Amino acid sequence: MLHLMQLSEVVLSGASLPGAIRLVRAANVAALDPEAAMFTAMLTEWEQQQRSRLLTKKTITDRLSLVCRFAEFTGTSYPWDRTPEDVEAYFATRLSRGELVWSTVRGQQGDLEMFCAFMTGSRYGWAAACSDEFGRFPVQVCHDWNTAAHVAEYEGRPGRRALTFDELQTFFDAADDRVEETRRKRRKGVLAAWRDAIPLKQVYAYGTRRRETAMLDLADLRRNPRAPQYGRVGGWVGAVEVWYGKASRGSPPKRRTVSTVPEIEWIVPLIEKWAAEVRPGFSPGRHPAW
C-alpha cells in the first residue's frame, strides 16, 4: 500500500510528465548564469514534450529554431521579460523584408503561442520556478490582436497559379527532349534524364508529393478490378498505393489509394516502359523501389 501511495504522489506531482521542470532542474545546484540555464532547460524540456506527442524531428527542429531566432531578435531578454510588443516588432520586421508569406506568419505565430502556453501552464512548473528565482514569470505574448487569423482556405501567393495544359505539355516535352539530346550527343546521363522525365509525369498523373513518390515500390502498383484494361508490370497499374502520405498532429503517415482513370491512362505505357527498360539500367537487384 505504501508503494502505491508513493507512486500516486509522483504521478500527481508531474515529476514524470515530459516537459516538467523537475526533470532538468536540480534544486540543490546553482547555475553560473541562472537566466541562460533556465531558458536552455525550457527548450530542452519543450523538445522532450513534443517528442512525447510523436511529432516529427523536422517539426520540432523548426519550432526550436523559431524560438531561438525570436530570442536573438529580442536581444538579452528572456521569456519572463517579453511582452506582446516583442512579437509585433519581430513579425513586422520580417514582413518588411519580404522574408515571410501569410501562411508562414500564421504558422510561426502559432508555434510561439504554443511555446508560451508550455511555459505558463501549471502542469510543468516553469512559471513558478521563474517567479521564485527571478521575481518575474513568463506570460502569453501572442493573442488575438497581434496574431494572424486563419480566415481564408487558400493562403498561397496569388501569382503562383497552376500550369495550363500548353505549359504542362511544354514542360514534359522539354524533359523528353533532354533524354533524346543526351542520347544523340552520346553523353553520359541518358538513364538519369529518363529517370527524371517519367516520374515527373507520374507525379502529375497521380498527384503524389515528393516523399510519397520517393517511397513508392513496384509492389505499390496495384490492380483495379474496375479497370482490368490497365496492364501488369510486376504489379498492376490500375492504382497506386501511397503508404507515406503526409501525416498530421503526430499521427503515422496517411495511406491512400489513387486509381488510374481514363483521363490519365497515357501514364500506363510510360510506367511499363520505366519498369521494363529504364529501371533495370540502374541495376536495382532485389531492391523494391520502383
pLDDT in tens, 112-131: 999 999 999 888 889 999 99
User: Would you say residue 144 lies in a domain?
Assistant: no
User: Would you say residue 199 lies in a domain?
Assistant: yes
The answer on 253 and 180 residing in a single domain is: yes
User: Would you say residue 1 lies in a domain?
Assistant: no
The answer on 114 and 24 residing in a single domain is: yes
User: Would you say residue 2 lies in a domain?
Assistant: no
| Three-state secondary structure readout of 14-77 | CCCCCCCHHHCCCCCCCCCCHHHHHHHHHHHHHHHHHHHCCCCHHHHHHHHHHHHHHHHHCCCC
The answer on 22 and 126 residing in a single domain is: yes
User: Would you say residue 66 lies in a domain?
Assistant: yes
The answer on 192 and 129 residing in a single domain is: no
Q: How far is CA 69 from CA 40, 162, 262, in A?
A: 14, 34, 50
Digit-coded pLDDT (tens) for 257-272: 888 888 888 888 888 8
The answer on 183 and 250 residing in a single domain is: yes
6 — pLDDT class (breaks 50, 70, 90): very low
The answer on 128 and 187 residing in a single domain is: no
What single-letter amino acid sits at 4?
A: L
Q: pLDDT averaged over the chain?
A: 83
User: Would you say residue 242 lies in a domain?
Assistant: yes
Select the more confidently predicted residue: 158 or 243.
Answer: 243
The answer on 190 and 111 residing in a single domain is: no
Distance of CA 11 to the CA centre of its chain: 32
Phi–psi pair at 42, nearest 5 degrees: -60, -45
User: Would you say residue 268 lies in a domain?
Assistant: yes
**Average confidence (pLDDT) over 183-196:** 86
Select the more confidently predicted residue: 242 or 235.
Answer: 242
Beta-bridge partner residues of 258: 240
The answer on 171 and 127 residing in a single domain is: no
Domain residues for 190? Answer: 165-282
State yes or no: pLDDT of 2 exceeds 60. no
User: Would you say residue 153 lies in a domain?
Assistant: no
